[in-house]
Structure 1
């Protein structure tokens, strides 16, 4: 059972499932369903797809994740950033037929699902670590700005196109003369109401005597209230005749089951986009899942999360949906509402299914401006420009990575932005580790501890230099170490011993080993002796399989203090012999 449970986490939590858990999951599902219905419609609009596809992407994927996912509270479905990336990917295909666009979206979901599942089976969850947090924060912030800018056209009731901020602003400016006043009034009213709901509705309800739980449920229903009110106004006043764009007919019924397009040329065009969506979706999802799990002292398994998200996307692809992942806002709502297990997601799927079967006729007069307002309010929470100030104050290198990701995403679009983010993350790692911190150490008087001579009042000897290397040694930083040591020893003719304090060195690769061998030879020719201290066991095991230790001019000391005491004694003995010889 255990090997099977590893890939089917439902077998673990399902055995302990009881009535209390079911009650908590049902309540959480009701709240999340209320929130998810308008969000699903809005994110389908953002992705450039028919609104019903947002509902379809919120049914079977939730069930698949409930079976294969490891987070107890993660809520899977359409999210803003992935929807924007979907729109950008499909936009490059130049398709006009809605049916072909829907097939392409399904193919994108299937490819993403297969990529994520394969990564999970191969246990590649650690690959997410190659995206640094500053770069991810910069990309999400820029994406939030792009998403909000892309929805302004629906608020104003005009045409505007573009996948970069410059293109969007230019297109909006060119069509300002076509602004539709009824649409603006609806859109601004919906925006104002939704912003007020976020900040003012819950305190008002509490003052009116509602319990915290009831006030929270009503607050989460804010977007539904906006949808209902603006739909009623549009229908009553026939605003569609005045130029207000409405959702129109939304098909009623079960999600259409079928295999998306398997056209090799289409897959070739979408592969890079699918890969980027998979990476960003997984990073966003696993970050949320880990944060929420920690609050309950639970654990998630990143590799199994890949499989959970992969199967959710495969489910989306065969049920008329588009790429999905774990959403931050709805997952927090799910958590706060008291969800106990992934069954809350399955119950939410039932709620969305009921909406798809019974409520879609009521959406005919829903203004697109209301959905745009829902998106804008949701994504502005993603925009965190303060990351620039924090990064600038902490690290100029991290600031450059954040600023570069933001600028590139806004200037060239999300695909270039996320690709640049991946490259910047790798480049940032290589840059930092290629110039490791090297501290020249001395003995703290009265102790056996060694500290940086530039930070502490320590004891040193002119014949000995101790250098602590605060990084593993590999091809990218080996030459830096060699240059640093040779520069240090050539400036001090009194030196006789060089000690490399290796307590922080976790690995030495072949390139670094060759550099150490060359360094040992060059120091020997200069009349200097090279020693190592506090070499870790796994590193020592590798060194023993080479000739380096046999050729080493000095010794390998168990502790830095042993090196100091031994070399100090040998220097004293040599000085004593010299004095006697002089006599």
Structure 2
């Protein structure tokens, strides 16, 4: 039961002193969650109250099913933008139809995450490499920030998820800027930045919201054309099942999958970061998929949109001393109180104030430091980051992340197709064999013996390269060469194509009058050798545990190492 209901783990060991810390952390996060949730709902193209709905049942579900005790889940900027991007290309008329499609998308995201969790397929998120995520999130941050210019300037601007279009549409209307909206937005930005610098623990976001509402109410700023949030429905969201049909599934599945993986990656990444700080390791990657999937499914039934872990709120949760997931329950209590008693005052909240909150919040997603590191040390990965950034920025959100993943996979395939290939020499006065290019004068290089190391698995994509490089090395040794030793310590797998290539290559080497030995092959590798054509060409007495043993055997064939005989015998039995 504890595996499927992780809350049973921490609730059975709960201590009295935890309660106060969880209470303070939960209420502190809740104070930030209310205005943030409303602001992020606007990014998703939804009425602000849907941010509060997303802060109810999804968080409650995660309290019981989540394994990270520090993260704070709910609406976030990234997922909000992805929701808007996924639906922007569809012909949807009317707010009600748009909301209905968001609920369908949320249900699909949750179902995808839950299914992946049940099948224990959390490893799929590994295909989203850090350069892709960094490029994508940085571009998304720019798009989110500049998409809020219309609220900051008080303009009526057509929506878009392409950076250049946002700039163009905004510039076309720049003469209609409302100076009062602009002043509210700039003051909000300055207040948040000031408290970030001087007192991070202070809820500056809440202060901006309160000041904005007070200014509108007492100064009657609505008369100056200031755009307001307007009426926020009071009470809890009603229960309804999203209307899913084949057309919806066909239109939304690519974005649902992307949202599912991105949301999962955010949660696990943030959770791991919190664990590094606290020293407490509780995260179960597959259970996190189940928790997030269940949260989004439940959320879709109560008018919520996709939710995941928030970095800013998780940091606040940790700093405030949260000990368990119970802190999330107290955050929900504050949202409940807001929906029951405080919604009337939010109709005076300026959109410009929410825009200032969003713009400052997402600025932290822009990671220039990581880009500089890649530029200095990993220019191929920097290229992946830059292309992902540019495609996301100018072509589209969906295209950016999909092409980014594809570029990462292509880079991985390219690297494995031409892995490191080194000639080894004996380090003087030792039993070690190292790369002759790295150790130069420290190694002994023999003209009659070629020792090589291939630093990758052997598979169909690099077997031809392996053959070409080995024959090139053999040719370079000249007529004095008598034997070749393959150090296979780094080869952890050989597929059928590569096994066939290697067996034919050994045969070709033998026909040229040379001996061929394999040294350092690990157990799984030896199994493949004995269960393929390789052993027929190699012969088991030419398979060694260490490179030194292969060299000794070459120098004195009459002395076969006992361990080599035993390894060959054991593999013969396995066969």
TM-score, normalised to structure 1, is 0.92
Question: Could you tell me which of 546, 549, 554 is aligned with 2:532?
Answer: 546
Partner of 1:290: 272
Q: What is the CA distance between 1:195 and its match in structure 2?
A: 1.1
Is 1:515 matched up with 2:501?
yes
Once the two structures are superposed, residues 67-106 of structure 1 have per-residue CA deviations (whole angstroms, 9 ceiling, x without a partner) of: 1111011111011111000011121222231111111111
Question: Could you tell me which of 211, 214, 221 is aligned with 1:229?
Answer: 211
CA distance in 2, matches of 1:268, 1:179: 41
Are the counterparts in 2 of residues 61 and 313 from structure 1 also a CA contact under 8 Å? yes
Partner of 2:142: 145
| SS at structure 2 position matched to 1:265 | helix
Once the two structures are superposed, residues 529-577 of structure 1 have per-residue CA deviations (whole angstroms, 9 ceiling, x without a partner) of: 2211010011112221223212216811111111122223469xxxxxx
Partner of 1:91: 88
Partner of 1:241: 223
Partner of 1:575: none
Question: Could you tell me which of 450, 453, 476 is aligned with 2:461?
Answer: 476
Partner of 2:553: 566
Once the two structures are superposed, residues 181-227 of structure 1 have per-residue CA deviations (whole angstroms, 9 ceiling, x without a partner) of: 1111111111111111211245xxxxxxxxxxxxx2xx1x2111101
CA distance in 2, matches of 1:390, 1:18: 44
Which consecutive unaligned segments of at least 5 residues does structure 2 have?
A: 559-575
Are the counterparts in 2 of residues 290 and 299 from structure 1 also a CA contact under 8 Å? no
Question: Could you tell me which of 241, 256, 259 is aligned with 1:259?
Answer: 241
Partner of 1:212: none
CA distance in 2, matches of 1:434, 1:284: 31
Are the counterparts in 1 of residues 22 and 322 from structure 2 also a CA contact under 8 Å? yes
Partner of 1:497: 483
Instruction: Report how many aligned residue pairs link the two structures.
Output: 552
Are the counterparts in 2 of residues 138 and 387 from structure 1 also a CA contact under 8 Å? no
| SS at structure 1 position matched to 2:437 | coil
CA distance in 2, matches of 1:547, 1:105: 56
Partner of 1:325: 308
Are the counterparts in 1 of residues 450 and 477 from structure 2 also a CA contact under 8 Å? no
Partner of 2:570: none
Question: Could you tell me which of 323, 332, 345 is aligned with 2:328?
Answer: 345
Once the two structures are superposed, residues 228-257 of structure 1 have per-residue CA deviations (whole angstroms, 9 ceiling, x without a partner) of: 111111122222232211000000001221
CA distance in 2, matches of 1:136, 1:497: 48
Are the counterparts in 1 of residues 500 and 533 from structure 2 also a CA contact under 8 Å? no
Partner of 1:398: 381
Are the counterparts in 2 of residues 502 and 533 from structure 1 also a CA contact under 8 Å? yes
| SS at structure 1 position matched to 2:209 | helix
| SS at structure 2 position matched to 1:5 | coil
CA distance in 2, matches of 1:475, 1:287: 34
| SS at structure 2 position matched to 1:454 | helix
Is 1:488 matched up with 2:488?
no
Partner of 1:555: 542
TM-score, normalised to structure 2, is 0.94
CA distance in 2, matches of 1:104, 1:489: 64
Are the counterparts in 2 of residues 75 and 327 from structure 1 also a CA contact under 8 Å? yes
Once the two structures are superposed, residues 152-191 of structure 1 have per-residue CA deviations (whole angstroms, 9 ceiling, x without a partner) of: 1111111333211111111111111111111111111111
Which consecutive unaligned segments of at least 5 residues does structure 1 have?
A: 203-215, 572-583
